[in-house]
Amino acid sequence: MKFTVRTLWLIIFLVFPYQLNSEEFKKLPSEHELNFYSGMFDFSDKGKKSAIFGLQHQNENLIRDTFLGTLSPVTGAMITADNAAYLYTGVQAQYKVGKINLTPSFAPGIYEKGDGKDLGHIVEFKSEVQLSLNLFENSELGMSYNHISNASLGDKNPGANSYMFNYLQKF
């Protein structure tokens, strides 16, 4: 059985609404934030662009206020329709202005090209900026842009530019 992005979205839409309406769920402390995202991987390369789906986790207990802003570690994974995959861990900053959140991040990770674009090395670095809007107490909708590059670790460094639509939920 081939696992597709469409199958994953179906699971999310079937299971997720039941948790959001639960009274017990609303009473739990918000310690974890999951960011579900989907969009277009390497949209600037017409020959290698591909649909993308990903999941990112942030532990609210690890947030620290610093001179750079509110920082926290993030860990995530994404996969493209061409079976390229990226597993990463890094740090993100959070800047809130009313209901709007600006979240830049940096995360090194491991990239496997699958049938997708060869980025030149197994080690890649993801720089991202996300803009989101607080919908309710524990959820946000947003859009993000990222660039993945190997910083010339490999013989070639074509990089990839992606955009995603994000749904963030605190648990």
The pTM score is 0.80
CATH number of the domain where residue 151 is located: 2.40.160.20
Percent of the chain with pLDDT over 70: 82
CB neighbours of residue 74 within 10 Å: 21
Residue range 63-75: average pLDDT? 88
Residue 16 has pLDDT above 90, yes or no: no
Residue 115 has pLDDT above 50, yes or no: yes
Burial of 18 (0-12, 13-18, 19+ CB in 10 A): exposed
Q: What is the pLDDT of residue 19?
A: 46
- State pLDDT tens for residues 81-100: 999 999 999 999 999 999 99
What confidence category does residue 52 fall into, taking pLDDT thresholds of 50, 70 and 90? very high
Instruction: Determine the Cα angle at 39 with ends 75 and 89, to 5°.
Output: 10
Q: 71 is in which domain, residue-wise?
A: 5-170
Number of folded domains that form the chain = 1
Q: What is the pLDDT of residue 48?
A: 87
Q: What is the pLDDT of residue 61?
A: 80
